């Protein structure tokens, strides 16, 4: 590991502030991330950014609080009550949390929550960027901050940024329900490394990228513009040695004895959860009901202790859930209690670490049966605390931990009969089997603790090649500023069409220019000191129909054909040779026939197979096949295979936007500013062939081979319009304002 600082960014600081008059103190807070990462943070020299909680302080006290936290390596991100309500209770916990745990029906649609979510992510980005020093590593955590990686990437293009998701990433069919699915994916892709607890979640994420964003991932990485984003599975561990040491502490041993004594010879079954609907407490209770119904003798032989730490009480669905659990416990104790005892001992508050470990140590059977859980650290804490190598863990197959913890009895938590069977099986397991299983479990939990987890993630992050943006301008020079300067001299605009001036349409014929665009191009081309070239992969006929009457130069078929302004004839870049087409066409035709939703487009100097409307995975697989086949077949020919957006094109070698750029550069006065805007790989060719001082702008997720990035065709139109508006004489063109 390098000696750079580690900046941990999570929703909460791992401590809670207590202000008592003039004195300020911090106490550790509960929750997976805090308990899991806390020890690592203490061991490192890191800085931790997070919300300190509602400190309720006066401005003077706040200065004191900040100083106190700063001394402990914490940077508080103070949030207003409205922000906490919208971002935390609203969007993170009432929208993202249920959806990512497959509770689609619990998800209300609350756009106000979204705007606060974005705002708070921005606030974090500001604070981190302010604190950041070159060489630092930033590690962002969890679903509260999924927009942050990209917001940081915009501010700190060269920073090393990691992101870890602590909850499941749901199947793409569930994720796509989220109205802001694209923004979330784009936010995450700002990171260099995205970590999940399991390969299953990783696969879901990759499938979502493909199905929702059309991004085609490799096995463990995604190309985003000019950057590679790596993804990996890093199952989180716990401070296993700390738990084991506590379990062997004489005070804790005494507590264990006391708990067993209090149980009066009854077997102890334990559940420890945050009071959250994903943890499956009502079904677990129902499983006990089934067990007590079919084995009445057990009613007096079991003491089921359920510890439920209060959680997110401000969110409505949690309030209902709490009442549901309360009622079920009451009903069951009423139904199955005996004169001697009540079978369920329900504790609705947080317990101290010592008491928690004592409970883990006293339990005969530990029940961890969430309906969905990213990992579940309670299961691992139980195992780490069983230094005597006894005890039984019953574990839900829907907890991330179940992919690792082979020695547990795994169970489907929705099947209450199966859970009842597992409890019974656990209670009657022989000491030998318990030991054999517990040894396996302990090897896994103790062999891969939270330090190994953090080292593994950070080691991988540091091993990645640092990202060096190609931009040559210092970040302070923004695109509008550079354009304004260029406007002092002549400008030649090189504009791609599809994806740049209009959105990519499902079918090429649906992407005709609207009146507003035609007007805008007219105005730009009529501007003194401005020339416009449209450089497109489209055919001559198509471009002529759309722009034949506009005073712009047209380049069709990626520049094979050129029609200058005021000229009616098209000039080819080289003599036309179409003999090769006879051999290639049948291959493309065959792929079009065997892949529903695809078609072949014949141009004069090239031919293309379009697969935008094919089923995504199938289209991609076929495209891969076709590329291999053509690569093989055409390796000795003066032809090249070009991959565009959902299209594979075969054309004569040497013809392309690179050639266009060379020709334009050669014929343009050195004093003229060249401004090129495009969205795909063919435009990259053009950017590369232009001189370094050209103003190159890539449309989409990243700058990718260009000096600047711009969001989409709407932003392009606004940008073009701003060139017109900057000239006071041209106010009359205002009516061309795009939507």
The residues assigned a catalytic role are 496
- In the complex, the smallest distance separating the C-beta of residue 375 from ligand ADQ, rounded to whole angstroms, is 3
Enter the DSSP assignment of 595.
Answer: S
The residues, ordered by sequence, that sit 6+ positions from 449 with a Cβ below 8 Å of its Cβ are: 237, 238, 239, 240, 241
Q: Check binding of 235 to ligand ADQ (CB under 6 A).
A: no
Q: What are phi and psi of 365, to 5 degrees?
A: -130, 130
Nearer to ligand ADQ, 107 or 309 (CB): 309
Q: Check binding of 280 to ligand ADQ (CB under 6 A).
A: no
Nearer to ligand ADQ, 276 or 704 (CB): 276
CB 341 within 8 A of CB 306: no
Q: Determine the Cα–Cα distance for residues 441 and 382; give it in Å rounded to an integer.
A: 10
Nearer to ligand ADQ, 78 or 348 (CB): 348
Q: Check binding of 375 to ligand ADQ (CB under 6 A).
A: yes
Q: Which of 55, 208, 376, 444 binds ligand ADQ (CB under 6 A)?
A: 376
Q: Check binding of 272 to ligand ADQ (CB under 6 A).
A: yes
Q: Using CB atoms, what's the residue nearest to ligand ADQ?
A: 32
Nearer to ligand ADQ, 284 or 612 (CB): 284
Place of tokens 């309720």: 56
Q: Which of 378, 483, 524, 587 binds ligand ADQ (CB under 6 A)?
A: 378
Report CA 636 to chain centroid distance, whole Å.
43
Q: Which of 374, 508, 656, 700 binds ligand ADQ (CB under 6 A)?
A: 374
Nearer to ligand ADQ, 178 or 371 (CB): 371
User: Which residue stretch of 374-382, 504-512, 531-539, 618-626 sits at the interface with ligand ADQ (rule: CB under 6 A)?
Assistant: 374-382
Structure tokens at 356: 């928690």
Nearer to ligand ADQ, 198 or 341 (CB): 198
Q: Which of 6, 13, 24, 167 binds ligand ADQ (CB under 6 A)?
A: 167
CB 395 within 8 A of CB 368: yes
Q: Which of 381, 498, 531, 557 binds ligand ADQ (CB under 6 A)?
A: 381
Q: Determine the Cα–Cα distance for residues 189 and 162; give it in Å rounded to an integer.
A: 10
- In the complex, the smallest distance separating the C-beta of residue 268 from ligand ADQ, rounded to whole angstroms, is 16
User: Left if phi > 0, otherwise alpha if psi is -120 to 50, otherwise beta: which for 130?
Assistant: alpha
Q: Which of 430, 373, 364 has its CA nearest to residue 403?
A: 373
Q: Which of 68, 116, 227, 274 binds ligand ADQ (CB under 6 A)?
A: 274
CB 316 within 8 A of CB 322: no
Which 1-40 positions form the footprint of ligand ADQ (CB under 6 A)? Answer: 30-33, 35-36
Q: Which of 307, 420, 438, 703 binds ligand ADQ (CB under 6 A)?
A: 307
The order of strands in the sheet holding 647-652 is 599-602, 606-610, 647-652, 639-644
Size of site (CB under 6 A) for ligand ADQ: 24
Q: Check binding of 236 to ligand ADQ (CB under 6 A).
A: yes
Nearer to ligand ADQ, 404 or 527 (CB): 404
Q: Determine the Cα–Cα distance for residues 569 and 231; give it in Å rounded to an integer.
A: 51
User: Which residue stretch of 80-88, 246-254, 372-380, 650-658 sits at the interface with ligand ADQ (rule: CB under 6 A)?
Assistant: 372-380
Enter the DSSP assignment of 91.
Answer: I
Q: Check binding of 350 to ligand ADQ (CB under 6 A).
A: yes
Q: Determine the Cα–Cα distance for residues 245 and 237; give it in Å rounded to an integer.
A: 16
Nearer to ligand ADQ, 231 or 674 (CB): 231
In a 10 Å sphere around its CB, with 0-12 CB exposed, 13-18 middle and 19+ buried, how is residue 37 labelled? buried
Binding mask 192-231 for ligand ADQ (x = CB under 6 A): ----------------------------------------
Q: What are phi and psi of 20, to 5 degrees?
A: -130, 95
Specify which residues 698 forms β-bridges with. 678, 709
- In the complex, the smallest distance separating the C-beta of residue 374 from ligand ADQ, rounded to whole angstroms, is 3
Q: Which of 62, 89, 160, 166 binds ligand ADQ (CB under 6 A)?
A: 166
Nearer to ligand ADQ, 241 or 545 (CB): 241
Q: Check binding of 720 to ligand ADQ (CB under 6 A).
A: no
Q: Determine the Cα–Cα distance for residues 568 and 32; give it in Å rounded to an integer.
A: 70
Q: Determine the Cα–Cα distance for residues 91 and 667; give it in Å rounded to an integer.
A: 55
Inter-CA distances, 581 with 541, 611, 638, 708, Å: 20, 20, 12, 38
Map 108-141 to HEC letters.
CCCHHHHHHHHHHHHHHHHHHHHHCCCCCEEEEE
User: Which residue stretch of 269-277, 471-479, 592-600, 723-731 sits at the interface with ligand ADQ (rule: CB under 6 A)?
Assistant: 269-277
Q: Determine the Cα–Cα distance for residues 186 and 171; give it in Å rounded to an integer.
A: 17
| Interface residue list for ligand ADQ (CB under 6 A) | 30-33, 35-36, 166-167, 236, 272-274, 307, 309, 350-351, 356, 373-378, 381
């Amino acid at each position: 590991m390098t000696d750079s600082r580690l900046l941990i960014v999570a929703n909460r600081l791992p401590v809670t502030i207590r202000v008592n008059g003039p004195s300020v103190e911090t106490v550790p807070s509960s929750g997976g991330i805090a308990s899991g990462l806390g020890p690592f943070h203490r061991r490192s020299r890191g800085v931790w950014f997070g919300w300190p909680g509602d400190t309720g302080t006066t401005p003077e006290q706040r200065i004191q609080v900040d100083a106190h936290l700063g001394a402990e390596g914490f940077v508080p991100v103070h949030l207003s009550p409205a922000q906490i309500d919208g971002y935390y209770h609203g969007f993170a916990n009432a929208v993202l949390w249920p959806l990512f745990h497959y509770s689609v029906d619990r998800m209300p649609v609350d756009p106000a929550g979204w705007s606060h979510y974005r705002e708070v992510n921005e606030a974090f980005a500001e604070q981190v960027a302010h604190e950041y020093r070159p060489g630092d590593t930033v590690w962002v955590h969890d679903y509260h901050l999924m927009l942050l990686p990209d917001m940081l990437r915009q501010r700190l293009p060269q920073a090393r940024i990691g992101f870890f998701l602590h909850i499941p990433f749901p199947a793409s069919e569930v994720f796509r329900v989220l109205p802001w699915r694209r923004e979330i994916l784009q936010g995450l892709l700002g990171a260099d490394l995205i970590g999940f607890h399991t390969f299953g979640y990783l696969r879901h994420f990759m499938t979502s990228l493909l199905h929702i964003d059309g991004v085609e991932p490799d096995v463990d990485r995604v190309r985003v513009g000019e950057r590679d984003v790596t993804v990996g599975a890093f199952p989180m561990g716990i401070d296993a040695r700390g738990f084991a040491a506590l379990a062997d502490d004489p005070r804790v041993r005494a507590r264990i004895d006391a708990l067993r004594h209090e149980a009066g010879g009854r077997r102890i079954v334990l559940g420890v959860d945050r009071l959250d609907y994903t943890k499956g407490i009502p079904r677990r209770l129902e499983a006990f009901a089934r067990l007590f119904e079919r084995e009445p003798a057990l009613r007096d032989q079991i003491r089921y202790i359920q510890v439920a730490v209060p959680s997110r009480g401000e969110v409505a669905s949690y309030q209902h859930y709490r009442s549901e659990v309360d009622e079920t416990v009451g009903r069951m104790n009423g139904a199955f209690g005996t004169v001697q005892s009540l079978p369920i001992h329900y504790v609705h508050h947080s317990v101290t670490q010592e008491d928690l470990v004592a409970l883990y140590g006293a339990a005969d059977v530990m029940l961890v049966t969430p309906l969905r859980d990213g990992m579940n650290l309670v299961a691992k804490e139980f195992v780490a605390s069983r230094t005597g190598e006894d005890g039984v863990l019953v574990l839900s197959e829907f907890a991330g931990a179940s992919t690792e913890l082979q020695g547990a009895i795994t169970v489907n938590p929705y099947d209450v009969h199966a859970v009842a069977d597992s409890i019974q099986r656990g209670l009657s397991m022989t000491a030998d089997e318990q030991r054999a299983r517990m040894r396996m479990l302990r090897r896994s939990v103790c062999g891969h603790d939270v330090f190994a987890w953090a080292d593994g993630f950070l080691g991988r992050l540091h091993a990645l090649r640092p990202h060096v943006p190609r931009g040559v301008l210092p970040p302070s020079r923004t695109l509008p500023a550079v354009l304004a300067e260029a406007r002092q001299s002549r400008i030649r605009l090189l504009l791609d069409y599809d994806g740049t001036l209009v959105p990519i349409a499902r079918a090429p014929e649906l992407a005709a220019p609207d009146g507003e665009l035609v007007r805008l191009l007219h105005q730009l081309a009529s501007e003194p000191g401005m020339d416009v070239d449209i450089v497109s992969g489209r055919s001559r006929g198509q471009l002529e129909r759309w722009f034949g009457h506009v005073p712009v130069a047209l380049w069709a078929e990626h520049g094979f054909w050129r029609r200058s302004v005021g000229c009616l004839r098209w000039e080819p870049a080289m003599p036309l040779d179409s003999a090769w087409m006879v051999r290639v066409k049948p291959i493309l035709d065959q792929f079009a026939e065997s892949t529903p939703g695809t078609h072949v487009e014949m141009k004069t100097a090239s031919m293309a197979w379009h697969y935008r409307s094919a089923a995504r995975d199938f289209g991609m697989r076929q495209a891969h096949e076709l590329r291999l086949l053509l690569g093989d077949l055409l390796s000795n020919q003066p032809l090249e295979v070009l991959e565009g957006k959902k299209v594979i094109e075969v054309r004569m070698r040497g013809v392309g936007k690179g050639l266009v750029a060379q020709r334009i550069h050669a014929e343009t006065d050195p004093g003229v500013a060249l401004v090129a805007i495009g969205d795909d790989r063919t435009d990259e060719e053009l950017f590369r062939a232009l001189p370094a001082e050209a103003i190159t702008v890539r449309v989409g997720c990243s700058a990718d081979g260009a000096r600047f990035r711009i969001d989409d065709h709407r932003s392009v139109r606004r940008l073009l319009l701003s060139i017109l508006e900057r000239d006071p004489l041209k106010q009359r063109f205002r009516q061309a304002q795009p939507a």
